[in-house]
A and B are shown apart, each in its own frame.
Chain A
Amino acid sequence: MSVSTPRIDEPAAASADAPRSTGQRRDGGPRRAVKPSRILLAALLAVAALYFLLPVYWLVVASTKSSPDLFGTFGLWFSDPQWLHNLSQVFSYSDGIFWNWTWNSLLYAGVGGALATLLAGAAGYALAVYRFRGREAVFKVVLAGVLLPSTALALPMYLLFSKVGLANTYWAVLIPSLVSPFGVYLCRIYAEAAVPAEMLEAARVDGAGEWRIFGTLVLRTMTPALVTVFLFQFVGIWNNYFLPLVMLSDDRKYPITLGLTTWQSAADRTPELYQLTVGGAFLSILPLAAAMLVLQRYWRSGLTQGSVKG
């Protein structure tokens, strides 16, 4: 969904921008005329923000309407809002199956994202700190993994999972969500820059084992990168469609993306489902928005540090 993108771009652009502007003001003394390039930049950013936020605004407005009003009234303004009615419909339709989907999405994205972050952190740290034969080869294979679209892997994975009898289980979506090549890449770059060798030496001298060093020192030092990886992975799993589509057939195990599509599929025949689909889509972006708002502080520093020092 489009909400994720602006959050990545904007803070990064803004923070790269911010120090320069304050610096200028401090040195420059009296107010200077604003440069045209800055106005242009601000205008461009405003347009970009509008471009990304408008659909969200539309979604908020649309989720308050009835099915006929959805089509018959101006899309960007309210008409006869019936929010509570709509949302209670979303949750009660078909024996409250939307609750199942929400819970499943939280499970896949939350647990999958957390474990993937831990794995990526450990792998990235190991690649950054330990010297071993084939280290670069391993890293390059992981890099190649970044280039492979996960969609291309879904079908072969489905055949494998069917063979071992895991198709149409929670594991079928969880296990593939546990790996994040991009996360490994980011964590390695970050660990190289942020984990000082002296600190590790000191810890070893003090008698800490490698696991303890990783668990207490390194994870803490790497927090910004880990939060970044977690958010990427969380959003990725949350919005994933193809993998659960192929893997799952029991609609009680579906995540929200897939569930809403089944509603949309039936909306041709049962028009009230248009409204429920829109209402469900609105509800489904709330956890993403919450995760972004809570974690964006870390996200920002994680990204910029990675980009500056990498």
Chain B
Amino acid sequence: MDTPTPSRRAVLRWGTGAAAALTAAPALTACGQTVGAARTTRQEPTRRGQKVKLVFWTWVPMQKTVDLWNRTHPGIQVEMQAIPANVQGGYQKMHSSLAAGNPPDLAQVEYHELPGFMLVNGLTDLSAYGADKLRDSYVPWQWKQGVFDGRVYTIPQASGPMGLFYRRDLFPQWGIETPATWAEFEKAARVVKARGGGARICAFAPNQPSWFAAMCWQRGARWVRTEGDTWVVDMNDDLSREVADYWARMVRDDLVFVEPDMSSAWYRHVQTGQISAWVGPQWGDALLRGNAPGTKGKWRVAQLPQWKAGQNASANWGGSSTAILQGSRHPREALQFAHWINTDRQAVDLNIGVGYGWPAAAGILRGSALDRPDPFFGGQRYNDVFAASDRAIDTSWKWSPTTDADFAQLQDAFGAAIASDGALASTLAGAQKSTVDNLLAKGLKARSAR
């Protein structure tokens, strides 16, 4: 490559001037990083009657929504390009395009991936284009996921507030009431094992660190925080260890299946009723409906079990935003599109139709495609439960800019622990250390909290 690859600081200086340099959160300023976007965002003037063309990368099949935009906005035409999802190379692709200086204008980026993009200066500072006044249109915690050092870097798209899917037909057969606390959930699990004829209450998936993170999120853990320009990693705290011990006990006492969720074995268990509950996200409804149609009418959704009776703490699993990548030539138009696709009522209904998740737009549930009794859930207006869940999510959770690597290591450690002594909590110290190492390797300041 013969382009100069200036350090990140230099990129910021060269960028859109002082504004860009000030926006980077101090903790995301790496020393000696040589990666970064090869081109910075700049608004290109448009002549009257000139058509603006935008490119949008996503793996959610939103073509119909984009078609609607193109019909109603003849001056700004968006081309949606379906790319492979996150782990299948989607982010790799975005990072390559940033490095090459020909990124798409818009791209779907998950919340936990945003800090990683910030690190390479990969996102456009949207506050410069008036995004701050859009804040009230979105669920607060989701909006905050895209705010770094007081500047807005992305438009929230959808999330996955969690709840308890359970089999309304099976639980009473075994004399189980819907568990409201984790202690009751464990008791119920023992009953299912005793009376269920081989059934279990649910599965523990060692391959799903983001699920485990959500469980710790609900418990009140905060895995990373920033102090000035230093990342403080706190995965080995008492709360996370408590969550790990809880699930280790469930595994040790054979109260749960140990298998990857959303795998064929898991789906078979769901179809046959061997799995009678799922601590899952709202977007899991499509998976149950599509892959276990024979269980129609038998499912219900309840609030996530609580650690203390009467508490109201929830968690989130998964979530994406519509980001405007660094290097766009039409950030103003791109921002207009990003806001429209995530808040326009018709657009959101189309997005719901293709299962994009739980809308990040505030107050849009009433009257939307989600706001109706569902025969699959026996006529329950089950999304009311998720709406309540969404409101009960703690807004202060932060992601490390190295989440991909951190989670890969945590997943390996969980797999190894399950294969040997099953002591999940003892893996957290190692996971914490490798997270700190990952951050240091990026040229960031980082330390363990304890």
Contact = CB atoms under 8 A, between A and B. Distances in A.
A249 B90 CA distance: 10
Contacts of A250: 81
B290 A67 contact: yes
A162 B262 contact: no
Contact of B1 (A159, A264, A269): A159
Nearest to B104: A249
A242 B89 contact: yes
Most buried by B among A70, A258, A266: A266
A103 B57 CA distance: 23
B83 A158 contact: no
Contacts of A272: 290
A206 B359 CA distance: 79
Nearest to A258: B84
B354 A159 contact: no
B264 A68 contact: no
Contact of B102 (A167, A242, A271): A167
A162 B102 contact: yes
B59 interface: yes
A140 B63 CA distance: 50
Given A68-B293, A265-B85, A266-B61, A156 B1 contact: yes
Most buried by A among B96, B264, B354: B96
Given A67-B291, A271-B290, A271-B291, A245 B93 contact: yes
A18 interface: no
B399 interface: no
B97 to A, nearest CB: 8
Interface string A270-289: 11101000000000000000
Contacts of A261: 84, 88-89
B101 interface: yes
A163 B3 CA distance: 10
Contacts of B355: 268-270
Given A72-B272, A249-B83, A249-B104, A158 B287 contact: no
A268 B287 contact: yes
B286 interface: yes
Contacts of A156: 1
Given A68-B291, A72-B268, A266-B60, A246 B102 contact: no
Interface in B287-323: 287, 289-294
Contacts of B290: 67-68, 270-272
Contacts of B55: 249
Interface in A128-177: 155-156, 158-160, 162-163, 167
Contacts, number: 106
Contact of B96 (A72, A246, A264): A246
Interface residues of B, number: 43
Nearest to A257: B84
B88 A264 contact: yes
A75 interface: yes
A59 to B, nearest CB: 14
Given A251-B81, A271-B286, A158 B88 contact: no
Given A264-B88, A269-B283, A270-B286, A158 B291 contact: no
A262 B83 contact: yes
Given A71-B291, A271-B286, A246 B93 contact: yes
A242 B81 CA distance: 17
B68 interface: no
A86 B83 CA distance: 23
A68 B286 contact: no
A162 B97 CA distance: 9
B356 interface: yes
Contact of A269 (B81, B96, B293, B356): B356
A266 B357 CA distance: 12
A268 B262 contact: yes
B92 A246 contact: yes
B99 interface: yes
A134 B366 CA distance: 76
A158 B96 contact: yes
Given A75-B264, A159-B100, A269 B354 contact: yes
A80 B446 CA distance: 57
Contacts of A155: 96
B173 to A, nearest CB: 21
Interface in A214-261: 241-242, 245-246, 249-251, 258, 261
Contact of A71 (B92, B100, B267): B267
Contacts of B59: 262, 265-266
Contacts of B356: 269
A49 to B, nearest CB: 24
B100 A158 contact: yes
Contacts of B31: none
Interface of A: 67-68, 70-72, 75, 94, 155-156, 158-160, 162-163, 167, 241-242, 245-246, 249-251, 258, 261-262, 264-266, 268-272, 274
11 contacts: A68-B290, A68-B294, A94-B63, A159-B96, A162-B100, A162-B101, A249-B93, A261-B89, A262-B59, A262-B82, A271-B291
Across the A-B interface, give the 3 residue pairs with the lowest CB-CB distance, nearest first: A271-B290, A269-B355, A71-B267
